[in-house]
Structure 1
Amino acid sequence: MTSNELKHQAKTQEWGLATQDYRSSGLSVREWCRQQGITPTTYYRWEREVLSDIGRKDAEGRSGSTFVELPAPQPLRNNSERTATLNIGSSGIDLYQEMGPELLRTLVELLRQC
């Protein structure tokens, strides 16, 4: 694998985490992107890339549920915005004030399945 391919793979993993952060934020794409200092166009381009990468891996016969250990990402949010951290078993999620109760219930159910 070339260095450019490795860089792209790392960037795709970083944006996979960013996509998860957006989806759990309860914000609109426009508002989330404004808070992160990026354009919605950039977000959507990388979201397509992440989803395309998942599709390629599935097509190669790999499960979409494969878990790998990744280095700790640089936080996209200012830690002072975090309200609390919820840990269930060995999994955890940071909670933010703008999270609604329905999203919180969904996240707790997902964590229990881990």
Structure 2
Amino acid sequence: MTSTELKHQARLQEWAGAIQDCRSSGLSVRQWCRERGTTPTTYYRWERELLSVASTTKALPETPAVAFAELPVPKQVPCNVAERSATLRMDNVSIDIYPQCGPEQLKTLVEILRTC
């Protein structure tokens, strides 16, 4: 898709929202356009174009809006050798167990050690 086509698609989406806003505002098209500094001619041209696109494609393609969210940096928990609770050793394999290790994790670790 060319940049001109992308710009046109963006304008179509912009006007689709504007037309919905006009229809739900309770104002006449003339009043709504006057408040927004546009002309009824422009409004109806975009409305015709949207209806034309809708009739040829059956529906406007829904492009999900991209949203970004700032996530907090995970808190780093240092695991100091002095803090370990236990060390499991089987043959030449050893695993240090720390206080944060839950029962399910410990069970999984033991099962993994048995396979080594």
Q: TM-score range by the shorter chain?
A: 0.5 to 0.7
Root mean square deviation, CA, Å: 2.0
Runs (4 or more) in structure 1 with deviation over 6 Å come to: none
Higher relative contact order (CA 8 A, sep 6+): 1
Equivalence for 2:20: 20
TM-score norm. by structure 2 comes to 0.52
Letter in 2 for 1:17: G
Structure 1 segment 38-53 matched on structure 2, within 5 A: 38-53=38-53
Picking from 69, 72, 79, the partner of 2:64 is 69
Consecutive unaligned residues in structure 1, runs of 5 or more:
59-63, 73-114
Identical amino acids, percent of aligned pairs: 61
Q: Does 1:36 align with 2:36?
A: yes
> Do the aligned partners of 2:33 and 2:39 also contact (CA within 8 Å) in 1?
yes
What is the CA–CA distance in structure 2 between the aligned matches of 1:7 and 1:14, rounded to whole Å?
10
Cα shift readout 1:65-111 (whole Å, capped 9, x = no counterpart): 86442369xxxxxxxxxxxxxxxxxxxxxxxxxxxxxxxxxxxxxxx
How far apart are the structure 2 equivalents of 1:10 and 1:24?
21
TM-score, with structure 1 as normaliser: 0.53
- How many residues end up aligned between the 2 structures? 67
The letter for the 2-side match of 1:42 is T
- Report the counterpart of residue 93 of structure 1 in structure 2: none
Unpaired runs of at least 5, structure 2: 68-116
Preserved contact between residue 33 and residue 43 of structure 2 (Cα < 8 Å): yes
| Cα 1:38–1:3 shift into 2, 3 Å | same
Distance in 2 between residues matched to 1:67 and 1:11, nearest whole Å: 14
